[in-house]
């Protein structure tokens, strides 16, 4: 049964244990429904830092458009087919988010 808690495009949902680790800027990612794919997945995926991921998520929150969502969907397909950004330099997927040293 589909509940509608997620969108196709939006910031990827993260672990609940991360909630108290977000700074004010990073928490803005929760202003929209989470999605299966988003700007962070099409701009580096696991090969970029947590801070970069959150910056892409907030950029999406600030610039949501119908055509932009379609571009993200097509970019996701391209990224998956090219197998870009799968691995992080420090781990097979992504290291645990421990919070940011700097607050924005």
Distance CA 52, CA 71 (A): 20
Segment (H or E) for 80: helix 66-82
Residue 11 DSSP class: P
Q: What is the pLDDT along the chain (104 residues), one digit of tens a residue?
A: 567 789 999 999 999 999 999 999 999 999 999 999 999 999 988 889 999 999 999 999 999 999 999 999 999 999 889 876 666 556 556 788 888 865 55
Structure confidence at residue 4 (pLDDT): 78
User: How far is residue 58 CA from its own chain's centroid?
Assistant: 9
Residue 9: predicted pLDDT:
97
What residues does each domain of the chain span?
A: 21-82
What is the per-residue pLDDT for 87? 63
């Amino acid at each position: 049964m589909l509940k509608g808690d997620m969108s196709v495009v939006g910031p990827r949902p993260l672990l609940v244990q991360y909630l108290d680790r977000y700074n004010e800027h990073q928490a803005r990612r929760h202003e929209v429904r989470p999605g299966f794919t988003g700007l962070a997945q099409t701009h580096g995926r696991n090969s970029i830092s947590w801070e970069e991921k959150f910056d892409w998520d907030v950029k999406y929150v600030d610039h949501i458009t119908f055509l932009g969502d379609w571009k993200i969907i097509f970019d996701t397909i391209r990224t998956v087919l090219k197998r870009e950004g799968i691995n992080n330099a420090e781990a097979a997927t992504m290291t645990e988010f421990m919070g940011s040293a700097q607050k924005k």
